[in-house]
Chain A
Amino acid sequence: MLYLIQPAWAFEDDSGCLLCHKYPKMGRITEQGVKRSYQVMPGMFASTVHRNVPCTDCHNYIKQLPHKEVKEGVRCDSECHSIKNPATGKKFSHEPIYNKFKASVHGRDKIETGMDADKPYCITCHTNPIYNPNEEQPPKKIVDRCVVCHEDREFVTDWYKHTSRRIREVKRNPSEIVALCSSCHSDKTLVERHVKAAKKEGRELGKKYAIAVESYDESFHGKVTSYGFTKAANCLDCHAKKDNYYMNVHDIRPSRDPESPVHADNKVETCKNCHIHADKNYADLDPHPSSKKEHSPFRYYANLIYSWVGDIVIVLLVAMALFETIGRRRDGAGWVLHKGSSWWRKSSRKRDRIE
């Protein structure tokens, strides 16, 4: 109870950033007319994954107060001076995974102009949801055990949360992954812009690049995933290598890259991750089917024929039923079998049931 009513921990504001950034109206309107808020809410920040990193570790371009205009902002490969990687003893940095990302098809710099500006930067995907301190309190018996040596209950609680959060599965579920990839890949304007640029530059794009999302949504994998089924393949199951999920989702490559799991030479192995008996013939099955004429004439015409045949059959059968009804009604058929007969109506053909 006492824990609930105590104020949220404020982070260490050694550099005095909150002198200005605590104010709600701290912000500006950009040249594009977008409102940007620069307010920092200490209680909120103290609940994020970066709560132990001092501001100037990331905002390392701030050398004086008040600071000069910020040109680039935070880069995610900067080193945190105050946090050391306990495994290597080096200053902590996201640089290894950052470099992996940079080498992938999505790789870009913090500030990009032109086509690369459409690519996702780290924070496009890593939205860093606020860590709720009440989300998972360590069980008392675990803390009791740890404090036997580590003495400090607060320290133990903090480390428990740090470790347990990383052990817990925090990756997005399949529908969220599809939604995330779709946020760019189903953006028609963005996709069209890239298709045009590639054509102009003579660059090759993946065969399914322009219809990646709509065709996945049309596939069986896509349909069941959108209903919340988690065992069907989502984007990353095929487009990221299997061996280290967390590393490889940053290393998405186009299908023409021999490193890509969907490269012609790797497709069978990729399919085998789920379909263990897959062979070359199997790997030829289209995981991105489209019924549009320009993408798959075979499927388009087959679909068209099926639709027409279905419609014609139904119309003919219903017409036949109506025709039959008219004919039988004319001869005196009633709808209900009444007193032993359904022929109690007068026949226009002059032959009635004898009452």
Chain B
Amino acid sequence: MKLSTEAQSVLEKSMSINKLDDKEREDIEQLIDNMPDDRVLLYKNVVSNPIGDLSRYSIHIRIQHMLLFVTFLTLAFTGLPIAFIDHVWAQPLNDMVGGIGISRIIHRTLASIMIFSMVYHIVYLFWIFIRDITLRQFEIQRSIIPTMKDVRDFKADMLYFAGTRDQRPEMDKFMYKQKIHYYAAAFGNLVMVISGSSFIFPEFWASILPEGAASYFQEMMRLSHPHEALLALLVIAFWHWYNVHLAPGRFPMQWTFLTGKITREHQIEEHFLEYLRNLVELPEERAYLSDLLDARELSPDTGNDTMQATRETT
């Protein structure tokens, strides 16, 4: 396989960070050469453990996700019956969560825990950012920060889904979809915290806002809280849960949020650049892939030629 410039640079950077010796570099280059040009064949032929093969999320991220999702869902279930009181499901749901006297306490307590998880996340990100900068290991494209590459990846991926492009793009640890979701969640969280605080501390907001602006601000917050909550719930139910539970290959669920590991086929398919780093960091993964390429004759100079030729003719 001939790597793209971007992939080559990720590989070089990773080899340099991991201080690989010449022998190891040679092994990796050999392995890359032996990979089939059609990356699809690579992720179609690897064997994956549904529970996960390669590390993706640290325990901190998993705890933050757990805190966020438990608090978010309970906050939604305790808050939505109040906001959408006219709906037929509102009263039974409100009764189910203990009635207004209990649900308001649950709502406020869990909101505090959600804010804690938010702070925990920011502190954690800041900490790993400082650590990576200090160790000269920080790579912007490996982080959640959006780049122009995400726009190119999005376009390329859409073309692949439409059937006009042969391959999915080489995406990094966080693909465009995850970045959209992450920033939507971060923005939504901020909106919920600010608007929620305007319900619990309306006097505070009125006292710091300029005269005349307070009432408009409060109106916006009164609208933002339920709209954002409902939007978030629908995005979670129809998109996030689809992506991690129902999408082909992910059903019945991805275990990543519990084990912190991603399956090999998923890593190669959607996070190929991160898989290259895995190859650099994990000699056993190199050994596995090398054996697989030999066993299935996937290398370009072996049995794969026929298949490539067949595909080109079609």
Contact = CB atoms under 8 A, between A and B. Distances in A.
B206 A281 contact: yes
Interface in B162-217: 162-163, 166, 177, 199, 202-204, 206-207, 209, 211-212, 214-216
A165 B240 CA distance: 59
Contact of B215 (A277, A286, A342): A286
A278 B212 CA distance: 15
Interface stretch (B20-28, B68-76, B129-137, B220-228): B220-228
Interface residues of A, number: 61
Contacts of B81: 227
A350 B310 contact: yes
B144 interface: no
Interface residues of B, number: 71
A299 B161 contact: no
A89 interface: no
B99 A227 contact: yes
A228 B203 contact: no
B31 interface: no
Interface stretch (B39-47, B59-67, B118-126, B277-285): B39-47
Given A224-B82, A285-B215, A310-B234, A354 B100 contact: no
A226 B248 contact: no
Given A229-B101, A285-B206, A306-B224, A333 B248 contact: yes
A351 B203 contact: no
Contacts of B252: 336
B223 A303 contact: yes
A351 B238 CA distance: 31
Contacts of A336: 249, 251-252
Interface string A310-353: 10011001101101111111111111110011110001011111
Given A227-B100, A326-B161, A280 B211 contact: yes
Contacts of B297: 354
B141 interface: no
Contacts of A349: 40, 163, 166, 311
A351 B40 contact: yes
A307 B204 contact: no
Nearest to B313: A350
28 contacts: A224-B82, A226-B85, A227-B94, A229-B104, A275-B203, A278-B203, A281-B207, A302-B223, A318-B238, A320-B177, A321-B242, A323-B158, A324-B161, A327-B160, A327-B162, A328-B248, A335-B248, A336-B252, A340-B46, A340-B49, A341-B45, A343-B265, A349-B40, A349-B163, A350-B310, A350-B311, A351-B41, A354-B297
Given A228-B100, A306-B227, A342-B250, 12 more contacts: A220-B82, A227-B81, A277-B203, A298-B216, A317-B238, A317-B239, A333-B248, A335-B251, A342-B248, A349-B163, A350-B314, A352-B44
Top-8 shortest CB links A-B: A327-B161, A342-B249, A340-B47, A333-B248, A282-B206, A227-B100, A277-B203, A343-B44
